[in-house]
Amino acid sequence: MIAFLNWLNYLFGFSMPFSHIGGYVTSGLAFLVSWYYWKKVRKDTFFLWLRILMIYGFIRAIFSAQSNVGLSTMLGYMSHWFCPFILGYAVSEKAALKRSFYAYYITFVVLIMLSVLAFFGYFKPIFGQFQLVYDGLLKGGRSHIALGAILLTLSMFSLGQAVFNTEHDKLRRIGFGFFSIFLLSSIILTGSRGYYIAAALTLTLVAVVWVFYLKPVKKRFMLLGFVVIATLVYGAYFKVPLIRYRLGEVGARASSVADRVWLYKIAVNEIKTRPVFGYGPGQAVMQRSFFEIIPPEKAYVKEFGHLHSFYLHFAADFGLLGLSLFFVMIFVGLREVWQVFVASDTFVKAMAFGLFFALIGVMLGDTMDTLLRGPGVAMELFWFTGMLLGTRRME
């Protein structure tokens, strides 16, 4: 059984860069055999709060106006949060942990490198509908926003490996440092303005923690890294017209910004109407009376499947009680990840550092999007969290 669960994690790592279908299959199989390691995983505090949130969500779905919609939505959250977490937690040893992590990391980095080459016309994609570049934006087979989240995540993992994994020789650590900058800079090509902001804020937080708490390297090396990143940002700004346009279109008059503002107003009005329990999972976007404030020229906004901010969307669905449970869960998760960072060394320490700031980065990004409620980014973050927290109880 141990070998089977380890192989499921390897397959998850290899398949997720290309399709979340592989993630559904592997994490679903892990859920079916979770009885084998339930005594171990159920003791985790983060998993306790995840279970509480899932139970609350299913109860809220049953007692909502459209329970079928609510239950279907909760099955989605189970598939994107609960099952990937227990799959990652099932990794039995650090060697398997490393193989699972690198299966994902190497596969996705290669995919991103091919995508960047395709962006500049040096590689012709051969994947059919699997779009590496679309409408002039870097996609890597996903939406440009989801790719921005993954690039930020992998950049933080790379930085952790470069600084804290002393098992690597100097050349390899320099290589991880290079990929950290490369991946972070590639966010520019996605055109995701939300992740421009999220990446900038995450880097600022890293710098503050680095200078005042960690101090693992001389400050001049950190300064050099920021100079390199700034140079790449300005280079992209002047050399790629579309990026210049995306950066310039950030004011309130920008179409996409205005669309978001209307959706935020709708979400706030829904929350005011049902502040405690919300309308039920998946049902906030079905309250059509709230969408009547949208002017005729913006009628297409009524067809959006989410409210363009995870926190507002979640509160409208689950109420402020549900949102509070979510924040408690995330706080506990971040605290546990940081505890692993402090108590570990080499690879696990490096992974914990990367995951801590990746989680914060995606949380910041989801103020303007809803990646945490869908497949892809959420599945990977909960999988990484499960793997990392599981290291504390490895046999």
Q: Which of 55, 57, 53, 50 lies closest to 72 in space, CA to CA?
A: 57
pLDDT at 251: 45
C-alpha separations of 290 from 18, 256, 318 in Å: 37, 20, 17
Query: Residue 225 and residue 202: Cα distance in Å, rounded?
Result: 15
pLDDT at 133: 86
Is 145 part of a structural domain of the chain? yes
Q: What is the pLDDT of residues 79-132, one digit of tens each?
A: 999 999 999 999 878 889 999 999 999 999 999 999 999 888 887 776 555 688
Is 263 part of a structural domain of the chain? no
Cα 240 from chain centroid (whole Å): 26
Number of domains composing the chain: 1
pLDDT at 296 over 70: yes
Is 131 part of a structural domain of the chain? yes
Query: Residue 89 and residue 109: Cα distance in Å, rounded?
Result: 24
SS3 391: helix
Is 317 part of a structural domain of the chain? yes
Q: Which residues contact 236 (CB under 8 A, 6 or more apart)?
A: 185, 188, 189, 243
Q: Which of 105, 66, 19 lies closest to 387 in space, CA to CA?
A: 105
Q: Which of 320, 319, 269 lies closest to 294 in space, CA to CA?
A: 269
Is 264 part of a structural domain of the chain? no
Q: Where are the alpha helices (DSSP H) in the chain?
A: 2-15, 20-32, 38-41, 45-62, 67-77, 83-89, 94-119, 144-164, 170-190, 193-209, 219-239, 241-248, 255-273, 310-343, 346-365, 377-390
Query: Residue 341 and residue 34: Cα distance in Å, rounded?
Result: 26
Is 109 part of a structural domain of the chain? yes
Mean per-residue pLDDT for 191-204? 87
Q: The pTM is what? A: 0.90
More confident residue, 253 or 354: 354
Q: What is the pLDDT of residues 55-87, one digit of tens each?
A: 999 999 999 999 999 999 999 999 999 999 999
Which residue type does 265 have? K
Mean per-residue pLDDT for 240-248? 56
Domain containing residue 85: 2-252+307-393
In degrees, to the nearest 5, what angle opens at C-alpha 369 toward C-alphas 353 and 156? 15
Share of the chain above pLDDT 90, in %: 50
Mean per-residue pLDDT for 352-374? 94
Mean per-residue pLDDT for 141-152? 92
Q: Which of 117, 225, 121 lies closest to 178 in space, CA to CA?
A: 225
Is 295 part of a structural domain of the chain? no
pLDDT at 252: 42
Neighbouring-strand partners of residue 134 = 137
pLDDT at 220 over 80: no
pLDDT at 299 over 80: no
Q: What is the pLDDT of residues 253-295, one digit of tens each?
A: 456 677 788 889 989 999 999 999 999 999 998 988 888 888 8
Query: Residue 323 and residue 331: Cα distance in Å, rounded?
Result: 12
- Which two tokens mark 284? 């906030």
pLDDT at 302: 72
In the chain, DSSP finds a helix count (H) and a strand count (E) of 16, 2
- Which two tokens mark 24? 């559904």
pLDDT at 394: 67
Mean per-residue pLDDT for 24-35? 90
Q: Give me the DSSP letters along 28-60.
A: HHHHHTGGGTHHHHTT-HHHHHHHHHHHHHHHH
Neighbouring-strand partners of residue 137 = 134
- Which two tokens mark 113? 């490198």
Q: Label residue 146 by pLDDT band (50, 70, 90).
A: very high
Is 37 part of a structural domain of the chain? yes
Task: Decide: 30 and 87 in contact? Cβ < 8 Å.
Answer: yes
How big is the chain by its Cα radius of gyration, in Å?
21
- Which two tokens mark 48? 């306790």
Which residue type does 68 have? N
Query: Residue 191 and residue 247: Cα distance in Å, rounded?
Result: 8
Phi and psi angles of residue 241, each rounded to the nearest 5 degrees, phi first: -55, -40
Q: What is the mean pLDDT of the chain?
A: 86
Query: Residue 220 and residue 290: Cα distance in Å, rounded?
Result: 53
Query: Residue 340 and residue 271: Cα distance in Å, rounded?
Result: 36
